[in-house]
């Protein structure tokens, strides 16, 4: 098998981790359960039933003591360490389980049943997805006022930070990092999930520098009508620099198609370390998007291949009916001949 350092799977982090706790029972549901039915109370705990998908995993939401202590998490097998990052999404800490590094995302919440709809949806999605290019979730626990999401630790940081630190990527490296992101999105689409906040700061790099898609706080299950057509949505969320014109214009949109535009921005930023459209002047940004008024930075324009120019233009297509599909991207001439998405189910 051909060795590619950027494509080696981190198999140790794909094992199922099972908590055996004296605090609370862990329940794995045998069928999908409404998120509103997933929170139940007893004299000792609140718990969320893990939702089965085609890959059943032991992920559960466990009620911990009101004020967590290190000893509480040690009983669950975890030891929480230094803070890695913080923001509107919560705070991320480095942690360990059985000597292995993991990450834990801590989100402040109100007393149950006060989980907002976005968080409920994120927890439901996290319990349902498992893919080699998506950050793996191991366990979900809660205290009275906090949710703890234990997940795979990605030591390489984000692709966004890598590009900001080291400058634009070569086309060769972009060609290694871009296909796994496409593969992850194809897998999500097979699960009827749209990411809706696709950006380089939401793509992590593991120990082997393999890309891992993360942050499903704005993701949603896509609905279909009786004829199998995607129901358009009117919730305009995401990061402005990565948003397509249909969202900036507040039009109803197909989340799968809008993710394609964001994917195009990701590839452009990988290659140029700047955005294709300047968000400082929104009307001008929208005008430039609609008129396809963007170009490669001079240094990059001299080196990019015709196939890269073609796939980029097809992703940054303002007409949603003409924009390339995920399936089209995966089969494009620019993509490596050995496809990543052999089986997305």
Query: Picking from 18-32, 176-190, 257-271, which range would have the lowest pLDDT averaged per residue?
Result: 18-32
DSSP string of 187-236, one letter each residue: HHHHTTEE-S---GGGEEE-TT--EEE---TT-EEPPB-TTSPBPPB---
CA–CA separation, 9 and 181 (whole Å): 14
Q: Which of 93, 125, 152 is the last residue of a domain?
A: 152
Instruction: Give pLDDT, residue 282.
Output: 93
Mean pLDDT value across the chain: 78
Instruction: Give pLDDT, residue 113.
Output: 53
**217 and 295: one domain?**
yes
Q: Per DSSP, what are the bridge partners of residue 3? A: none
Confidence at 73, pLDDT banded by 50, 70, 90? confident
What is the pLDDT averaged over residues 96-100? 88
**162 and 255: one domain?**
yes
The domain of 274 spans 157-331
With contact defined as beta carbons under 8 Å apart, do 106 and 124 qualify? no
Instruction: Give pLDDT, residue 86.
Output: 81
Task: Evaluate whether residue 30 is within a structural domain.
Answer: no
Q: What is the pLDDT of residues 261-281, one digit of tens each?
A: 999 999 999 999 999 999 999
Instruction: Give pLDDT, residue 112.
Output: 54
**118 and 169: one domain?**
no
CB within 8 Å of 171: residues ≥ 6 apart: 271, 303, 304, 305, 308
**141 and 232: one domain?**
no
With contact defined as beta carbons under 8 Å apart, do 319 and 182 qualify? no
Task: Evaluate whether residue 65 is within a structural domain.
Answer: no
Task: Evaluate whether residue 10 is within a structural domain.
Answer: no
DSSP string of 100-113, one letter each residue: EEEEEEEEE-PSTT
Residue 158 scores a pLDDT above 60: yes
Confidence at 337, pLDDT banded by 50, 70, 90? low
**134 and 180: one domain?**
no
**87 and 165: one domain?**
no
Q: Per DSSP, what are the bridge partners of residue 85? A: 92
Q: Which of 152, 172, 195 is the last residue of a domain?
A: 152
DSSP string of 321-335, one letter each residue: TTSPPHHHHHTSTTS
> Catalytic one among 139, 183, 197, 215?
197
CA 69 from centroid of its chain's CA atoms? 29
DSSP symbol at 134: B
What is the pLDDT averaged over residues 192-202? 95
Residue 42 scores a pLDDT above 70: no
- Report H helices in 273-341: 282-290, 298-301, 306-315, 326-330
Strand order in the sheet with 146-152: 39-41, 46-48, 61-63, 137-142, 146-152, 100-108, 90-97, 78-87
Q: Which residue has the tokens 């509107």?
A: 88
> Within a 10 A sphere around the Cβ of 273, how many other Cβ atoms?
16
Q: Which of 102, 118, 152 is the last residue of a domain?
A: 152
Residue 120 scores a pLDDT above 60: yes
**261 and 186: one domain?**
yes
Examine the residue annotation and report whether 197 is marked as an active-site residue of this protein.
yes
**283 and 310: one domain?**
yes
Q: How many domains does the chain have?
A: 2
Residue 343 scores a pLDDT above 60: no
CA–CA separation, 243 and 231 (whole Å): 19
**119 and 260: one domain?**
no
Instruction: Give pLDDT, residue 330.
Output: 95
**115 and 246: one domain?**
no
With helix as H, strand as E and coil as C, how does 136-175 read? CEEEEEECCCEEEEEEECCCCCEHHHHHHHHCCCCHHHHH
CA 325 from centroid of its chain's CA atoms? 19
With contact defined as beta carbons under 8 Å apart, do 267 and 261 qualify? no
**185 and 246: one domain?**
yes
Instruction: Give pLDDT, residue 247.
Output: 95
Question: Looking at per-residue confidence, does 300 or 114 come out higher?
Answer: 300
Instruction: Give pLDDT, residue 328.
Output: 96
**Tokens in use for 206?**
């593991």
**Tokens in use for 173?**
């490296």
Residue 342 scores a pLDDT above 90: no
Instruction: Give pLDDT, residue 109.
Output: 82
Residue 119 scores a pLDDT above 50: yes
């Amino acid at each position: 098998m051909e060795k590619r350092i950027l494509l080696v799977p981190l198999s140790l982090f794909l094992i199922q981790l099972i908590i055996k706790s004296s605090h609370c029972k862990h329940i794995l549901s045998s069928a999908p359960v409404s998120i509103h039915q997933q929170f139940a109370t007893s004299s000792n705990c609140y718990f969320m039933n893990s939702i089965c998908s085609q890959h059943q995993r032991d992920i559960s939401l466990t009620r911990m003591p009101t004020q967590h202590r290190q000893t509480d998490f040690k009983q669950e097998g975890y030891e929480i360490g230094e803070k890695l990052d913080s923001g509107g999404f919560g705070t991320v800490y480095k942690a360990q389980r059985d000597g292995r590094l993991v990450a834990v995302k801590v989100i402040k919440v109100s007393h149950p049943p006060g989980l907002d709809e976005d968080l409920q949806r994120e927890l439901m999605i996290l319990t349902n997805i498992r893919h080699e290019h998506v950050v793996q979730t191991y366990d979900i626990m809660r205290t009275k006022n906090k949710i703890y999401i234990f997940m795979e630790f990605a030591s390489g940081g984000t692709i966004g930070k890598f590009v900001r630190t080291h400058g634009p990527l070569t086309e060769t490296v972009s060609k290694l990092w871009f296909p796994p992101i496409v593969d992850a999105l194809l897998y999500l689409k097979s699960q009827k999930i749209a990411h809706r906040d696709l950006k380089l700061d939401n793509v992590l790099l593991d120990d082997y520098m393999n890309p891992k898609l993360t942050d499903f706080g704005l993701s949603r299950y896509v609905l279909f009508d009786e004829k199998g057509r995607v129901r358009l949505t009117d919730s305009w969320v995401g990061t402005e620099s990565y948003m397509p014109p249909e969202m900036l214009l507040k039009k109803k949109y197909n989340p799968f198609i809008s993710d394609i535009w964001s994917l195009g921005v990701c590839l452009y930023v990988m290659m140029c370390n700047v955005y294709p459209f300047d968000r400082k002047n929104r009307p001008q940004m929208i005008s430039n998007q609609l008129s396809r008024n963007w170009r490669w930075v001079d240094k990059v324009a001299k080196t990019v291949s015709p196939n890269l120019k073609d796939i980029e233009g097809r992703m940054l297509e303002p007409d949603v009916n003409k924009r390339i599909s995920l399936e089209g991207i995966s089969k494009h001439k620019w993509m490596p001949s050995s496809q990543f998405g052999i089986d997305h189910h």
